[in-house]
Homo-oligomer: A and B are copies of this chain.
Amino acid sequence: MFRNKLIFMMIATLLVFSGSSSVAAEEKVIKWKLAMTWPAGLPPFAWTVTRFADNVEAMSGGRMTIRVDDKNKHKAALGILDMVKAGQYEMGHSASYYWKGKDINTMPFTTMPFGMTTAEQDAWYFYGGGEALAKEVFDKHGVNQYQGGSTGNQMGGWFRKEINSVDDLKGLKMRIPGFAGEVLAELGVAVTNLPAGELYTALERGTIDALEWVGPGMDINMGFHKVAPYYYTGWHEPATDLQFLINQDAWNELPADLQAIVEIAMVDSKARMYWENYAMSAEAWSKMGVDYPNIKVRTFPPELIAEMKAVNARLIAETSARDPMFKKIMDSQAEFMAKAREWTKMSDYLYLKDNIE
């Protein structure tokens, strides 16, 4: 009996050992949740997020999964920063300028009116000091911030009536986020921010008279033109970049290989969204005139643009005087942009001028 008992024990030990690696593998699966500002399936914003989550799972061989919750699930489209900070979600996907009410210094990482174009801003963020400034700002909120996908230069928005002067803006109720909202508020606009899912209804019911969203690739699908047919070219968001947020405690617990996977998957998604949205905008713009002949494309009058520029410069100066961190970010952007714009002029701008006009 002793011998049989010994053999039984050793077989049992063997079974435990041989099974241990798969048990360990199962235990090692890291399951994160990500809250995004956008409705499920919204192209290309939601696609960018699901692409990121799918890539993390594929690259980690299933060792890490990220569940994506859309705004209908978490019911807090504009509460992403708070939820990630609190650790309710390990990650978020939103836009940094949505937090301007909480911290004005989160704003300039999205885009600035009359600021850098997409190429210029990407060069600044990744190779011109932007990333370190973003870290300084978001460390205070206990989260890491990463660029989350550029829309490129945005259209100036949809209006029921033509805007011919500063007077036409006075009393107008408009959805417009970021520093552009601050500028228009100074010019008499009643400014608000609303998440994507509420835009059309608000415009149709007259809660707002005008709105800006993104550009043709995304706007036409929303149907804004049915209510507000004047479609203005942009001045206010030349390089809008969305953002990924990561709770710092969750980040610090991640093994180094998964940190690398998450970081590089975010860059892939950020870059691809720009290319995807550019293709969507090119396609939508080319069909717009045929499919929706009632849309009236306009540019704001030069006097109004000049007025907006002056107000923008004054507000930057005033805010910089109050807030040293804001001044630090604005100085960094201005210094980089002065150099980058000269190069943009000598390269893409001159080239386009030769080949457009």
Contact = CB atoms under 8 A, between A and B. Distances in A.
A119 B152 contact: yes
A279 interface: yes
A233 interface: yes
Contact of A275 (B20, B122, B342): B122
A1 interface: no
A332 interface: no
Nearest to A341: B356
A37 interface: no
A234 B349 CA distance: 11
Contact of A122 (B14, B278, B342): B278
Interface in A284-327: 285-286, 297, 299, 305
Interface in A258-281: 260-261, 264-265, 267-268, 270-272, 274-276, 278-281
A63 B343 CA distance: 42
Contacts of A153: 347-348, 351
Contacts of A297: 346
Contact of A127 (B114, B276, B299): B276
A255 B62 CA distance: 13
Contact of A61 (B18, B257, B267, B282): B257
A274 B275 CA distance: 13
Nearest to A305: B354
A26 interface: no
Interface stretch (A5-13, A171-179, A218-226): A5-13
Contact of A257 (B3, B58, B235, B280): B58
A69 to B, nearest CB: 23
Given A114-B355, A347-B215, A10 B14 contact: yes
A271 B267 contact: yes
Given A152-B347, A286-B342, A348-B117, A279 B59 contact: no
A58 B260 contact: yes
A299 B347 CA distance: 11
A336 interface: yes
A65 interface: no
Interface string A47-60: 00000000100111
A234 B305 CA distance: 31
A86 interface: no
B351 A238 contact: yes
A345 B233 CA distance: 10
7 contacts: A126-B276, A127-B280, A153-B347, A267-B271, A271-B271, A279-B336, A286-B338
Given A127-B279, A267-B272, 6 more contacts: A6-B7, A10-B11, A123-B282, A127-B276, A267-B271, A282-B336
Q: Which 6 A-B pairs rank lowest in CB-CB distance, beginning with the nearest?
A: A271-B271, A127-B279, A61-B257, A123-B278, A153-B347, A58-B260
